[in-house]
Each structure stands twice: as C-alpha cells, then as structure tokens.
Structure 1
Amino acid sequence: MSGKFVTFEGPDGAGKTTVLNRLLSNLENKLGDRLVTSREPGGNNIAESIRNVILDRENTKMDSRTEALLYAASRRQNIVQTVKPALEKQKLVICDRFLDSSIAYQGGGRMIGESLVYEMNQFATEGFLPDLTIYFDIPVEVGLQRIAKNRKSDDIDRLDVETIDFHKRVHHAYQEIVKNNPKRVKVVDATQSIDDVYSDVVSIMNKYVKKFME
C-alpha cells in the first residue's frame, strides 16, 4: 500500500473534530477524490450501525467487554471496507479516532487494561496501524467544561456523561500511548485557540499533503 493513513485522537472536549472538519474542507479543494475520510466507530453502513448501539445513552447495561468488542468489530469493518481499499488506490485516508481510542477509553477508562485491549484488537486489525496520529492534548476539567458549554444535549453520548475519574483514566492512558509511540504520535496543545491548534495541525500534515499534491 502506498497511500497514507492519518488518525486524529484526543479526549472529549479537545476540539479534535472541529479542527478536523476545517482541515478536511481545505484538503478537499486540493486533493479531490484522492482524499478519503472516515470515523470510529463508523465509516460505512455496517460500522455505523454498530456505532449507534455503542453510543446510545439508553444502553446503560452494556458490559465493558461487550463495548470493547463492538468497537473492535466496527474497526474491522472500517479497515476492510473503507481504509485499506483507499490506501491501495494511493489515497490519503484521515480517520477521526482509531485503535488508540479503544486502548484509552476501554483499556484505561473502563479499567479492562490497555495491553489486554491492544491484544484483543490484533484479531481485528492484524497489526495495522496509522502512519501518523495527531493527538489533541487537553486537561480533563477543561475538556468537560467545553462539552457542558458547547455541545447540544442531543449530541452528548454515553461516554460523555461518564465520571471525571473515568475521563482522568482515559487521559492517563493517552499519555502512555504518546510516550510509547513518539515517532507515530504527534502532540498538539488543544488549550490554544482553534486557529492556533489548526495551524499546528497543518504544519504536522504538510509533508503528507505535499506527497499527494505532486
């Protein structure tokens, strides 16, 4: 595969999706159909159906391992149906969340264990990882304040309403991922203004975009 796979990661309220949407609008004008976008959970019809089950606020009885397995199932479908076919056509694929999210949220947040979640996902991913991950770092309290202030009630999902201790475990797990993957994961300070965060992301992305502009 000669395409490039880039993922965006970060705890809730980091502004990741806002910046990503702005970036995609810019890249679509430059790359056209050489740009493919996806998200997790989701990315195609089957994976989106799984997403609806995972994030439904009514599913309060969902077991932690059931949740982790559903994320892995959605991930597998996204890889085989959306991501890899695009990479084989030499396209740039940008995905909102990937395996790191499961390690942080289910491994750390749900206390299943980061290494256990990673190993479980090897069946789904067959060792497939992004070429680049951009991580939006923000203190837990700041992220949750942003959610409370800016997110509409209909957009708040089952994970958003978890306890602050849950979100602190997620943040800690992300910090470990960053520390253990310095070549793949690039950190952006998400406490900055949206314009400054966007500028930092563009700087990181430039070498990947340049390849597809040639």
Structure 2
Amino acid sequence: MKYQWILFDADETLFHFDAYQGLKLMFSRFNIDFTAADFAHYQQVNLPLWVDYQNGVISAKQLQHTRFKGWAEKLQVTTQALNSAFLQAMADICTLLPGARELIDALADKVSMGIITNGFTELQTIRLDRTGLLGAFSPVVISEEVGVAKPDVAIFNHALELMGNPAPQHVLMVGDNPESDVRGGLNAGFDTCWLNHRNEPTPAGITPHYEVKSLAQLQQQLVGDK
C-alpha cells in the first residue's frame, strides 16, 4: 500500500445524500406535501449558500438559517428546528454508496482512514453508527466544528495534526467534488482521487492523481482483486 492514510469525503463519496427525499420525509412530519417544485425553489436558495460556505463567505449557522428561513416563517417554527429535523430525516434514510462497505473492509488492516466533510455535526456520528462504520474512521473532521470548509487548506492541516502529522505525500484524499475535495487536497499536498460518478469533464485547473467511476474501481486500484 502506497499510502499511510486515506481520507474520505462523506456525502456522495461514502453515503448517498438524497436531499429531496430527506426534505420530503422531514416536511411530511410537519404535514406538508413537499413537491418537486418546492425542491427546485429550495435549491435556488440552497446551492449558492453552499458555494458561499465553501468560499468562507458565510458560516455554517448562516447557511442553516438562511436556507430554511421562508419555511420557518410559514410553519411558525425556528430555522434551527427545521435544520435539525432535516438532518434527522437524512439520517433516517441514510444508505452507503455501492462498494463503500467492501472498500472500507478491504482497507481496514492496511491503512488508517479518516473523514473530512463539509456536512454538519448533527448528522455525522449517527450515520456512521447506523451504518456500522463508527469505529472505522478517526479522525472525523467536520467543517462546522473547525470553522473553515473544504477547499480551505486549514481544514486539511487540522486533519494532519489530528493524524499525527504524517508526510502529506503519504495521504490520499478521496471525494466526489473536484473543487472542494480534489483542489483542496492538492493544495494540502495530498494525492487525490476524484470519484466521478456522473462521468463529468474534469474542471479546468484541477488534475487529480486518480479518477474512478465507482468505489469498486477504487478498491481494485488500491488493493487489487477482492
């Protein structure tokens, strides 16, 4: 094994993140039929907020508040209550991506593993616990707790400190987002692997060390035949 450490993104790298189904479940608990049109409107607000969050323009709390502000006013609840309800719903529908468990099992005795995620604290531990992976990753670095988000190099340096400061070239960062995971990993001096599920073109100025279409393909590259 070339690497001492492999760091994974969480959403759409290890875990499915179906925001529409999570929102439908969450709003059903408020007796609301959340439609595809509602989701499209939500995403018009939500997606630019994530860009601002990754760029350090807004905080996690500002993102969580703003994306649910309109619904909180309609339902006469706090944005904090809606955000918590959404994260609980996402935990309730959580599933691993195909090949995730097999990959983690194959790597378990060969390399140390951690997670760096821009997701939120309230969701991470419960997902790892429910999928039986709570003991597989240490550290679990969450941007909400660190105060900076990928691709900021500070969150990767924070992870390195928790890992005992291995040489960056002995670390592989795996993620589905070329901007936050690959660019951020490259800026930290890590090798990087882009999990390109959707066969998208490589963004200009970003060159991952590896590109795979599935976790099974990554397993084949890292450890060979199952």
TM-score band, normalised by shorter chain: 0.3 to 0.5
More helix by share: 1
Give the TM-score normalised by the residue count of structure 2: 0.36
Bigger Cα Rg: 2
Give the TM-score normalised by the residue count of structure 1: 0.37
Answer 1 or 2: higher relative contact order, Cα 8 Å, separation at least 6. Answer: 1
